[in-house]
A = this chain, B = another copy of it.
Amino acid sequence: MGEKIAFIGLGLMGSRMAVRLIDAGHSLTVYNRSPEATRPLAERGATVEDSPLHAAARSMIVMTMVSNDAAVRQVILGKNGALAGMEKGSTLIDLSSVHPDTSREIHKAAADRGVRMIDAPVAGSTPAAEQGLLLLMVGGDRLVYDQLRPVLEVLGKTVLYMGESGAGTTMKLVVNSLLGVQLQALGEAIAVGQKAGLSKDVILDVLGQTVAVSPLQKAKMENARKNEYPTQFPIKHMHKDLGLVLKLAADHGVPMPATAASHTNFSIEAGRDVDEDFSAIMRLAEELSGLST
């Protein structure tokens, strides 16, 4: 028997996650800022509402999947935000990638109204969202995690408990700092190799045979090979996440020199405001080296 779930935020990731929840038999009410994105969901039987508040009012579980801290605050705490519509004892699940302080702020606001809240950001890109192969990192009350796990497992086969409120979003930033710096490192390596006379194909072939590259890097290296970077995880989101991790670093006095260096390059690319995959950071390294790409 399905749950009554409100799903707020139907972007690249959210739309795919919402489909999975419907397909798993849950009863969905959806909201999205631009209403076009709700249509495919409506066709599959979702109810469409015109505000997070109205969507939340019909549901015992509210999931939010939006693009940054400000958007999370707005759809949850803002005028016509979800929290105002939620019943005591219902559960709010924020799937967005935000600063852990934002998670804790929402958690407190929810608790003040008798609403339970967990942060459950996801690792993985659009294909993983489609296939339910995301990794979910959960922060908040362990009991809530235990109860909600079956629903979360519709989204990702790996659902891990990280600790108290904010621990999920903290872990997400840790993961993404690694991803971001790795692609920057790969870009630098590929650029210097080419300028020093190796062919790009040789470099990619050899790196692919070492124990140094991860499955993710291997996949992204094919983007570099074709010089095409179809968006799975938009570069502007990685730019934002590296900014958040540097903030976390500054909050806690942690020097992150390679992350900071990488963040600068992501700032350049994100500033171009093209909708591209974050792996396009490798192309920037080539470009800054004077390689025509």
Q: State A188–B263 Cα separation when bound (angstroms).
A: 13
**Which of B207, B209, B251, B258 sits near A262, CB closer than 8 Å?**
B258
Q: State A209–B158 Cα separation when bound (angstroms).
A: 8
Whether A160 sits at the interface, judged by CB under 8 Å, is yes
Min CB distance A154 to B, Å, is: 18
Q: What's the number of copies of this chain in the assembled complex?
A: 4
CB atoms of A252 and B289 under 8 A apart: yes
CB atoms of B265 and A202 under 8 A apart: no
**Inside 8 A of A206's CB, which chain B residues have their CB?**
135, 137, 160, 162, 171, 174-175
Interface size on A, residues (CB 8 A): 82
Whether A151 sits at the interface, judged by CB under 8 Å, is no
Other 13 A-B pairs with CB < 8 A, given A179-B212, A257-B264, A260-B261: A171-B202, A174-B189, A175-B210, A178-B185, A178-B212, A185-B185, A188-B249, A211-B215, A247-B247, A255-B267, A256-B260, A268-B288, A271-B290
28 pairs from A and B in contact (CB 8 Å cutoff): A135-B206, A162-B198, A170-B197, A171-B203, A174-B196, A174-B207, A175-B207, A178-B186, A178-B207, A178-B213, A181-B189, A182-B182, A188-B257, A192-B254, A195-B252, A214-B214, A214-B217, A246-B260, A247-B251, A252-B289, A257-B257, A257-B260, A257-B262, A257-B265, A260-B261, A261-B264, A264-B288, A271-B288
